[in-house]
């Protein structure tokens, strides 16, 4: 399998919504999971591969892929530090709705639509509060708690990180 074919496969997976693909032949074993950090690492490796690489040389390329997946939990520990000041002081009794992924934050389904929620709105568990677009896929983010929106912490169409606080909710 050539680097271009692997890159086309990754693009197809990102557009299809599949979470994981495993391909195994006599010459190559390839495992691709949907993770922005992992896909960026694989694409970087593909760019560094010679385009006429024989299949035997293509097989080692996927082997480093699990290493970035093992590193993925490390960033989740870092974003929790910035949320600590948000929970201090007057905001200590509020619950934070955080981004479950890296992407672009949108308050409404499209530019012509009203925002899903405003400050002061009541939300129920399971109610859509925003959209995070990642790799051209629009993911509805739902509230896990019932309460009142106290503060919106991110501007519309802004990039967000994994575990970044998006909203403060008063659960009382």
Tens of pLDDT, residue by residue over 115-140, are 999 999 999 999 999 999 999 899 99
pLDDT at 86: 40
Strand-pair partners of 134: 137
Other C-beta atoms within 10 Å of 3: how many? 20
Q: Is the pLDDT of residue 79 over 50?
A: no
Residue 63 and residue 95: Cα distance in Å, rounded? 40
Give the per-residue pLDDT at 60.
Answer: 43
**pLDDT for the residue numbered 103:** 94
Domain coordinates of the chain in residue numbers? 3-71, 81-170
Q: With a threshold of 0.85, does the pTM exceed it? A: no
**Gap between the Cα atoms of 151 and 18, Å rounded:** 34
Cα-Cα end-to-end distance for the chain: 57
Query: What element of type H or E holds 122?
Result: strand 122-123
- Percent of the chain whose predicted confidence (pLDDT) is above 90: 44
Distance between CA atoms of residues 40 and 148, nearest Å: 37
Give residue 27's pLDDT: 73
pLDDT tens sequence across 33-47 = 665 555 566 566 666
Second-level CATH architecture of 81-170: Beta Barrel (2.40)
Strand extents, DSSP E, 17-56: 20-24, 29-33
Helices (H) and strands (E) in the chain, counts: 6, 10
């Amino acid at each position: 399998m050539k680097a271009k074919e692997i890159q086309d496969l990754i693009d197809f997976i990102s557009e299809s919504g599949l979470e994981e693909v495993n391909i195994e032949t006599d010459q190559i074993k390839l495992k691709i999971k949907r993770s922005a950090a992992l896909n960026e690492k694989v694409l970087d490796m593909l760019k560094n591969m010679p385009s006429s690489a024989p299949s035997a040389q293509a097989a080692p390329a996927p082997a480093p892929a699990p290493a970035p997946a093992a590193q993925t939990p490390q960033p989740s520990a870092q974003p929790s530090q910035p949320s600590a000041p948000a929970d201090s002081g007057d905001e200590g009794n509020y619950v934070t709705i955080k981004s479950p992924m890296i992407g672009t934050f949108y308050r409404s389904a499209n530019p012509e639509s009203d925002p899903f929620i405003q400050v002061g709105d009541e939300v129920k568990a399971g109610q859509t509060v925003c959209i995070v677009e990642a790799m051209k896929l629009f993911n509805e983010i739902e509230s896990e708690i019932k309460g009142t929106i106290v503060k919106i912490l991110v501007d519309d169409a802004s990039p967000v990180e994994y575990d970044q606080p998006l909203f403060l909710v008063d659960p009382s």
